[in-house]
Structure formats: structure tokens, C-alpha cells
């Protein structure tokens, strides 16, 4: 979580956290513990000090799709949402906040970024959206966009390896995400994120 927030802190003008366990969780807790809230409190102070927003929405038990749809309701229509999970780290290869603002104003209603899973290869996923009342996840691969159109990742063109091949004007190649999986503890995720970033720089972000 700490590394994830650090990785986007230079890009965005606000953060909304969906805090709550997935609906498959069998315990009684409905929100994060002290360690997580200590991290969130630190970053909230950082963002507020810089005149940016930081909001924590306690969702209770929900699945991932329900959480994303709920968070969209807290974002003003017409604004851009950059969706990132708490176990993901963003690498931007020199992209700065001013560049992201330009990107935000010029982009279409959806942007695909490359996501690297530790046990898989790079793959494009829709993670940047223009927000509006029609924007909605139906399933993780099936999304209604703000203009009323629908995208379905399972019916889109693919590369030979089966990964989604989105239109070139919808690819945001200046941002990449590394998904470190919930199987790792936060300290291990942070160390692994640094190692992955160093490796990507050496490979010219390929």
C-alpha cells in the first residue's frame, strides 16, 4: 500500500481508497487494521498539505467490481479516474503530473495500460476512464463507458499470446503497473517493486 501510493503521488490530484474486505473473506473485520491506517494517515497528510484530496470510503464486504463502481460515484462527471489496486505499483518512465494533466484532457473515454503480473507477461488492461453516470463495470472484462458504448475484453482483438490488443489511440504506454499479488507482505512487495523497477529501467521499460 505504501509503495503503491508513493508510485502515484506525483501524478494525481486526489486519491479515493476503497477500504473493506472482499466478499469472500470469512472473518468479522469490515475495515483495515492499525498498520494500514497508519500508512493511509501519512499519505492523507501529504496530499492535504499539497492542496490535494484524499478520501477513504469504507465499503464493507464487496467484490472488486462492486468496489470500483462505488468509487466512481465519488468522482465528478467528466474527470478522469486512474484505477490501481493496493498491491500494484505504477512506473511512469519520467511522466510527471503536468504531463498527466495534458493526457487527461486529451484522451478518449478509456485508456489501456500494461499490467505485469509476477507469474505472467505484460498485458493491456483498461485502467483509465472518463467518469460519468453511465460508466460501470458489469464484470471485470465487461465495462459500460461514459458515452454509452461497451467494451468486452473477451471479444477484443488479441495478440498471438492471447493478450488484449487495444486500438493504438487507447494505449497509454507512458504508464505501466506491476501487480505484486496479495500473497506477499507489504515489506516484501516494496522490496520487490524496487527490484522490478530497476530491472525495467535496465531493459528500457520493455
Confidence of residue 121 (pLDDT cuts 50, 70, 90): low
Let me know how many helices (H) and strands (E) the chain has, helices first: 5, 10
Provide the b/e sequence for 68-85 (b: ≥16 CB within 10 Å).
beebbeebeeeebbbbbb
Query: Average model confidence (pLDDT) for the chain?
Result: 83
Main-chain dihedrals φ then ψ at residue 63, nearest 5 degrees: -85, 170
Please give the Cα distance from 148 to 73 (Å, whole number). 17
- The string of pLDDT tens digits covering residues 163-187 is 899 998 888 888 888 887 654 445 6
- pTM of the entire structure? 0.82
CA contacts within 13 A on the Cβ side of 181: 8
| Angle, alpha carbons 52-88-172 (nearest 5°) | 75
Identify the pLDDT of residue 112.
Answer: 92
Identify the pLDDT of residue 76.
Answer: 93
Please give the Cα distance from 131 to 108 (Å, whole number). 11
Identify the pLDDT of residue 200.
Answer: 61
- 67: nearest Cα among 129, 24, 18: 18
Please give the Cα distance from 13 to 33 (Å, whole number). 26
| 143 pLDDT above the threshold of 70 | yes
Judge contact between 20 and 31, C-beta under 8 A.
yes
Amino acid at each position: 500500500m505504501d509503495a503503491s501510493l508513493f508510485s502515484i503521488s506525483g501524478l494525481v490530484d486526489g486519491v479515493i481508497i476503497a477500504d473493506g474486505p472482499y466478499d469472500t473473506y470469512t472473518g468479522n473485520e469490515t475495515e483495515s487494521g492499525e498498520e494500514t491506517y497508519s500508512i493511509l494517515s501519512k499519505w492523507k497528510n501529504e496530499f492535504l498539505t499539497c492542496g490535494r484530496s484524499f478520501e477513504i470510503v469504507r465499503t464493507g464486504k464487496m467484490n472488486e467490481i462492486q468496489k470500483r463502481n462505488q468509487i466512481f460515484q465519488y468522482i465528478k462527471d467528466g474527470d478522469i479516474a486512474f484505477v490501481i489496486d493496493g498491491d500494484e505499483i505504477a512506473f511512469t518512465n519520467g511522466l510527471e503530473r503536468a504531463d498527466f494533466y495534458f493526457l487527461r484532457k486529451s484522451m478518449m473515454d478509456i485508456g489501456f495500460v500494461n499490467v505485469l503480473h509476477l507469474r505472467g507477461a505484460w498485458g493491456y488492461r483498461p485502467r483509465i476512464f472518463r467518469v460519468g453516470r453511465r460508466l460501470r463495470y458489469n464484470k471485470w472484462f465487461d465495462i459500460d463507458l461514459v458515452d454509452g458504448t461497451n467494451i468486452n475484453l473477451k471479444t477484443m482483438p488479441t495478440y498471438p499470446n492471447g493478450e488484449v490488443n487495444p486500438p493504438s489511440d487507447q494505449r497509454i504506454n507512458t504508464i505501466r503497473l506491476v501487480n505484486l499479488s496479495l500473497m506477499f507482505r507489504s515489506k516484501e512487495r516494496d522490496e520487490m517493486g524496487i527490484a522490478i523497477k530497476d530491472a525495467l529501467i535496465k531493459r528500457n521499460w520493455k
